[in-house]
């Protein structure tokens, strides 16, 4: 049995995908709402920089990234090639995890200190926008 092509099917699929993309962005928590202001978007790169400079946990966890470079080199010199590859491959997920933590740290800081919204907006950590980074 063949099915005839229905252009409405494509429009419904597109609407479902857009709704899923929008809800996924909202569940990731990248968009913020200021009291009495519109939607704000956190820049992951700027949040990571701010967290590294202003939080001891951010500084420590970002400095551990150095180990993802040094440890594989040492493992190659000791002829542990597979383990070296695994450690080096874990660098990207760790970096993405750090960005996620940095965004969370910015959101938490702004919840505790709402008076700093303007300072964060001027420095480019948060910005007005309708999309999610």
Per the DSSP assignment, residues forming a β-bridge with 128 are 40
Residue 76 corresponds to which tokens in the numbers above?
């190659």
The per-residue pLDDT for 22 is 55
Question: From CA 132, how far away is CA 67, in angstroms rounded?
Answer: 31
Residue 128: φ, ψ to 5°: -75, 140
The per-residue pLDDT for 118 is 87
The per-residue pLDDT for 36 is 41
Closest CA to 126 of 50, 73, 56, 62: 50
The per-residue pLDDT for 28 is 47
Distances (CA, A) of 21 to 28, 29, 37, 131: 11, 13, 24, 11
Q: Give the mean model confidence (pLDDT) for residues 21-43.
A: 55
The per-residue pLDDT for 21 is 59
Instruction: Give 101-132 pLDDT, tens digit per residue.
Output: 999 999 999 999 888 888 988 888 888 764 44
Distances (CA, A) of 90 to 47, 84, 95, 97: 22, 10, 9, 11
Instruction: Give 48-104 pLDDT, tens digit per residue.
Output: 999 999 989 999 999 998 998 999 999 999 999 999 999 999 999 999 999 999 999
Angle at CA of residue 26, ends 16 and 55, nearest 5°: 155
Question: From CA 125, how far away is CA 129, in angstroms rounded?
Answer: 12
Domain ranges of the chain: 7-128
Total length of the chain: 133
């Amino acid at each position: 049995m063949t099915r005839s092509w229905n252009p409405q099917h494509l429009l419904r699929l597109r609407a479902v995908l857009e709704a899923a993309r929008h809800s996924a962005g909202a569940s990731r928590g990248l968009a913020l709402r200021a009291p009495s202001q519109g939607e704000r978007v956190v820049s992951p790169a700027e949040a990571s920089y701010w967290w590294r400079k202003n939080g001891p946990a951010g500084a420590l966890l970002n400095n551990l990234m150095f180990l993802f470079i040094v440890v594989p080199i040492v493992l190659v010199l000791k002829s542990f090639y597979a383990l070296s590859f695994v450690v080096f491959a874990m660098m990207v997920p760790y970096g993405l995890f750090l960005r996620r933590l940095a965004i969370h740290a910015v959101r938490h800081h702004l919840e505790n200190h709402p008076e700093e919204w303007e300072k964060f907006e001027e420095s480019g950590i948060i910005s007005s926008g309708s999309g999610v980074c």
